[in-house]
Homo-oligomer: A and B are copies of this chain.
Amino acid sequence: MRIGELSERTGTPRRLLRYYEEQGLIVADRAPNGYRDYDESNVDRVMQIRGLLDAGLPTRIIKQILPCLDKPRVIHFADATPEMLATLTHERDRITDRISCLIRNRDAIGEYLEAVSVNRRPEAVPTGS
């Protein structure tokens, strides 16, 4: 598929698809006329990328994570240098931190919304404190 279709199917501006390619996050074949030619797997990959970017990861890190997401993984074990494994471990832990932070805050928002929906103007809310 060409860039327009990928753009539509992923809701991503063409500009960014080219940018992700420049950053080494996706690869595209080229048709004889120079047009980029994407295969089906790029749809999922682009969604992954967007999700991770939105979650605050920079392209530099995403690039290192992406090989983990391909199944079967066999081919990619060549990348598994000790430094790479250390990086991955570290990033995994940082992601875990992010997750707990987000869960905490989401739950706080949830509780707030709950409290508001129960009583638009409460004098006191049982917070346990």
List the interface of chain A (C-beta within 8 A of B). 48, 51-56, 65, 67-69, 71-74, 77, 80, 85, 88-89, 91-92, 95-99, 101-103, 105-106, 108-113, 115-116, 120-125, 127, 129
Q: Are B68 and A98 touching (Cβ within 8 A)?
A: no
Q: How many copies does the complex hold?
A: 2
Known contacts A72-B129, A110-B92; A102 and B105 CB within 8 A of each other:
no
Q: Are B72 and A116 touching (Cβ within 8 A)?
A: no
Chain B residues with Cβ below 8 Å from A97 are: 51
Q: Are B72 and A125 touching (Cβ within 8 A)?
A: yes
Q: Are B65 and A122 touching (Cβ within 8 A)?
A: no
Known contacts A52-B105, A54-B98, A54-B101; A122 and B74 CB within 8 A of each other:
yes
